[in-house]
């Protein structure tokens, strides 16, 4: 079953344009499925599909034969009567590709005779190579694992796919409480489904094949184990500068355990027993392969009071479950780890929301030496949105006070948002909107 993605309209729009459409994302988040779905909706196109997992195709491209490959697959010369569509999966696996795409694109860019669509699961190589070689010719999109809405549409297509976060950024501040309340009322028939899927996402994450698999723990565990094994054996082992695969796996274990916490290089170096340069290099590859993310401090505060270390997050809660061996929400609650899993889930929702925007945006956190903390501060220019996030049902006094203090120091910010498992409510005097997590 194909599930529409929230970013789909923006990629559709890019397909109509002349630029090279490029979709990045971790392996198995549905990039190829999305491209196949969108291209099958185009009538009577002449399509060439290349997958660079194929050694034979990579060898031909390395021999500078991309032009011939396209024409052989389409049974037509480039520039002929029919426009050619070329989709290339795992584009980062063949650096020789990009210069050849540039030459073809530049030759035919004013004629609408060829359209390139690239996908890749390694940010470093594909993003850098495309930026250097294809500057001014490319549109980049990032596909995340399933959001809560996308996951829940596996059960019902009647559920709106747009999240409440879209309303937050698209609504005038004075109207926002009423608009959110009305939207939540319309979601009430889906509340039990969304609540259950939210709990599931804290354990199993949002990888599409995990979400769509049978409700069998052993099957999901096996998939996640194979996912990590394939990632290590097919992606990481081929990197010549990764000389200790076991050390790399141990770093993944540490990142999984520390997700949601400040990055602590001292403890990590002690646990791994490696040098600082090795840690930096290996962590760089975790970032480059989109398995890991760092959130940096918000600089709108007084700089000398800021905690300057970034917070570290593993891509997906299902991967964290596999690496930590914890597959039970009650165990997470009892060990105190539930807060970081919940925070990690919400971070993925934020990223999916912001990926739909054409304006520059960033996700930060705030932590001052005085103890004031804000889980996420989203800068979506020209606006700033502070979010406190907690798994609990009653609002935590400390988190509320942090949000109140932040809003008092930032009078131009109209609302702060408290995401939790309680009921929707609005505190107009404190400028806080309390939003149930299930309806995000």
Q: State the pLDDT at residue 124.
A: 44
Tokens at residue 360, please? 């520059």
Mean pLDDT per segment of 10 residues, for the chain of length 440 residues? 92 94 93 95 93 96 97 96 96 90 94 94 57 78 95 96 92 96 97 98 97 94 97 89 95 96 95 96 92 90 67 96 96 95 97 87 88 91 93 92 92 95 97 97
Q: State the pLDDT at residue 240.
A: 85
| Same domain, residue pair 392 and 410 | yes
What is the span of the domain harbouring residue 87? 8-143
Q: Which of 143, 175, 204 is the last residue of a domain?
A: 143
Does residue 2 belong to any structural domain of this protein? no
| Same domain, residue pair 121 and 180 | no
Does residue 280 belong to any structural domain of this protein? yes
Q: State the pLDDT at residue 220.
A: 97
386 by DSSP, 3-state: which? strand
pLDDT per position as a tens digit, 181-210: 999 999 999 999 999 999 999 999 999 999
| Same domain, residue pair 133 and 164 | no
Does residue 250 belong to any structural domain of this protein? yes
Q: Which of 143, 176, 191 is the last residue of a domain?
A: 143
User: How many structural domains are present in the chain?
Assistant: 2
| Same domain, residue pair 234 and 363 | yes
| Same domain, residue pair 39 and 156 | no
* pTM recorded for the entire structure: 0.94
Does residue 1 belong to any structural domain of this protein? no
| Same domain, residue pair 214 and 335 | yes
Does residue 118 belong to any structural domain of this protein? yes
We report the CATH number of the domain holding residue 30 as: 3.40.50.300
Q: Which of 113, 143, 173 is the last residue of a domain?
A: 143
Q: How far apart are CA 438 and CA 300, in angstroms?
A: 30
Q: State the pLDDT at residue 121.
A: 85
Q: State the pLDDT at residue 238.
A: 84
Strand partners, 388: 418
Give Cβ neighbours of residue 301 (< 8 Å, ≥ 6 apart).
Answer: 366, 368, 409
Instruction: Say if residue 139 is exposed, middle or buried (CB neighbours under 10 Å; 0-12, 13-18, 19+).
Output: middle
Does residue 121 belong to any structural domain of this protein? yes
| Same domain, residue pair 313 and 402 | yes
Q: State the pLDDT at residue 305.
A: 60
Q: State the pLDDT at residue 162.
A: 87
| Same domain, residue pair 423 and 383 | yes
Does residue 189 belong to any structural domain of this protein? yes
CB atoms < 10 A from the CB of 324, how many? 18
- The single-letter DSSP state of residue 27 is T
| Same domain, residue pair 222 and 78 | no
Does residue 24 belong to any structural domain of this protein? yes
Q: Are 101 and 20 in contact (CB under 8 A)?
A: yes
Q: State the pLDDT at residue 126.
A: 44
| Same domain, residue pair 422 and 336 | yes
| Same domain, residue pair 216 and 342 | yes
Kindly list the strands in the beta sheet with 383-389, ordered across the sheet, starting from the edge strand earlier in the chain: 311-314, 292-297, 361-367, 373-380, 383-389, 416-420, 432-436, 425-427
Calculate the alpha carbon distances from 14 to 19, 48, 141, 215 in Å: 7, 18, 10, 36
| Same domain, residue pair 306 and 239 | yes
């Amino acid at each position: 079953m194909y599930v529409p993605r929230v970013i789909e309209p923006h990629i559709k729009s890019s397909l109509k344009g002349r630029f090279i459409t490029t979709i990045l994302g971790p392996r198995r988040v549905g990039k190829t499925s999305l491209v196949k779905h969108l291209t099958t909706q185009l009538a009577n196109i002449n399509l060439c599909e290349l997958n660079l997992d194929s050694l034979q195709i990579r060898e031909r491209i390395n021999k500078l034969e991309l032009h011939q490959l396209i024409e052989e697959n389409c049974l037509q010369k480039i520039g002929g009567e029919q426009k050619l569509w070329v989709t290339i999966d795992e584009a980062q696996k063949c650096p020789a590709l990009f210069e050849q795409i540039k030459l073809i694109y530049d030759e035919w860019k004013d004629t609408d005779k060829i359209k390139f669509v690239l996908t890749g699961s390694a940010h470093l190589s594909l993003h850098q190579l495309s930026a250097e070689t294809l500057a001014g010719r490319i549109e980049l999109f990032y596909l995340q694992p399933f959001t809560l809405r996308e996951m829940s549409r596996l059960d019902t297509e009647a559920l709106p796919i747009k999240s409440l976060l879209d309303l937050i950024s698209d609504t005038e501040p004075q109207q926002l409480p009423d608009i959110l309340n009305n939207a939540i009322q319309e979601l009430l028939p889906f509340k039990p489904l969304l609540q259950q899927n939210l709990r599931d996402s804290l354990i199993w994450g949002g990888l599409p094949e995990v979400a769509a698999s049978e409700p069998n723990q052993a099957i999901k565990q096996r998939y996640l184990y194979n996912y990590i094994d394939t990632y290590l054996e097919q992606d990481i082992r081929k990197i010549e500068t990764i000389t200790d695969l076991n050390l790399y796996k141990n770093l993944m274990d540490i990142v999984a355990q520390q997700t949601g916490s400040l990055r602590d290089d001292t403890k990590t170096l002690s646990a791994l027993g490696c040098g600082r340069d090795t840690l930096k290099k290996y962590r760089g590859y975790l970032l480059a392969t989109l398995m890991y993310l760092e959130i940096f401090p918000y600089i709108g505060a007084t700089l000398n009071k800021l905690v300057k270390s970034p917070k570290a997050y593993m891509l997906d809660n299902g991967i964290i479950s596999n690496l930590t061996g914890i597959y039970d929400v009650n165990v997470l609650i009892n060990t105190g780890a539930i807060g970081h899993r919940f925070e990690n889930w919400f971070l993925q929702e934020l990223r999916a929301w912001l990926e739909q925007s054409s304006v520059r945006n960033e996700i930060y956190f705030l932590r001052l030496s005085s103890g004031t903390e804000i889980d996420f501060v989203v800068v979506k220019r020209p606006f700033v949105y502070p979010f406190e996030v907690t798994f609990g049902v009653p609002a935590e006094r400390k988190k509320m006070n942090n949000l109140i203090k932040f809003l008092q120091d930032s009078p131009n910010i109209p609302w702060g948002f408290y995401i939790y498992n309680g009921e929707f409510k609005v505190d107009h005097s404190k400028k806080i909107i309390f939003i149930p997590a299930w309806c995000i």
